[in-house]
Amino acid sequence: MTNLLNTWFPNVSSLGWTGDSGWGTAIWQTVYMTLWPAVFGGVIGLIFGVLLVVTKPGGILENSILFSICDKIVSVFRAIPFIILLAFIAPFTQLLVGTQIGMTAALVPLSVGVAPFYARQIQVALESVNPGKVEAAQALGATNWDIIVHVYLKEARSEIARVSTVTLISLVSLTAMAGAIGAGGLGNTAIAYGYNRFNNDVTLMATLLVLLFVLIIQLVGDWLAKSLNHQKR
């Protein structure tokens, strides 16, 4: 197996598994830059998504001013290309983590970049909930918090799992651009050690690993969405 790899993928073997350019390092960096922004950006996006639904005209906490502010914030940050966002919030990144370069620094723009996308996804998921169930909960005297948690979030949990899967896959693609600030990862390996050096085997291997990563996320997300949908029934 090793001889076959050395024959057909000589440059892949030369990078090794450990070290700054190793495959193990690149995989770990991609996982790290996907999971933490998924948590931070996910929480921010969830909050904004819920606010967009409950404060909209006719919402349970109707507030046109708050809705307009949240809607504009989400729209503006969604419109900024990620590569520009990296530079735009660099001072904030410096203030927050003490550096603008590296894997940890990339967590800030990745979280900020994915949050508005996820907020819109959550908004759509929650708006799919049957309004009749919200009205029924209000008629039974449920508090606004109860309606948010036990009606909106509970009834939309299967759809939330689906949009979370889409968001995670989108986040994986953003990690590739994070290489612009020295964050590493499989995307950076494909460009820096593959494309820029005309090592097509390295580019191919990095691409296959990213596709495998995306496939795992998709399979787990689909299984979770189906499981939650069956539980709802």
Q: What is the CATH classification number for the domain harbouring 87?
A: 1.10.3720.10
Asked if residue 16 belongs to a domain, the reply is no
Q: Identify the three-state secondary structure at position 55.
A: coil
Asked if residue 111 belongs to a domain, the reply is yes
Q: What share of the chain is helix, strand, coil (3-state, %, to 5)?
A: 80, 0, 20
Q: Where are the beta strands (DSSP E) in 145-198?
A: none
Asked if residue 55 belongs to a domain, the reply is yes
Domain that holds residue 83: 21-232
- Is residue 51 within 8 Å of residue 66, measured between CB atoms? yes
Residue-level pLDDT at 5: 63
Asked if residue 53 belongs to a domain, the reply is yes
Prediction pTM value: 0.90
Residue-level pLDDT at 87: 87
Residue type, 78: R
- Return d(Cα 222, Cα 190) in angstroms, integer: 28
Going by C-alpha positions, the residue among 145, 164, 158, 122 that lies closest to residue 233 is 158
Asked if residue 220 belongs to a domain, the reply is yes
Per-residue pLDDT of the chain (233 residues; tens, 9 = 90+): 556 566 677 788 888 788 777 899 999 999 999 999 999 999 999 999 999 999 999 999 999 999 999 999 999 999 999 889 988 998 999 999 888 888 888 899 999 999 999 999 999 999 999 999 999 999 998 899 999 999 999 999 999 999 999 999 999 988 888 876 778 888 888 888 888 888 888 999 999 999 999 999 999 999 999 998 866 55
- Residue whose structure tokens are 């197996």: 1
- Return d(Cα 140, Cα 133) in angstroms, integer: 11
Asked if residue 89 belongs to a domain, the reply is yes
Give burial (CB, 10 Å; 0-12/13-18/19+) of 231.
exposed
Asked if residue 13 belongs to a domain, the reply is no
Q: Identify the three-state secondary structure at position 130.
A: coil
Residue-level pLDDT at 187: 86
Report how many domains make up the chain.
Answer: 1
- Return d(Cα 142, Cα 128) in angstroms, integer: 20
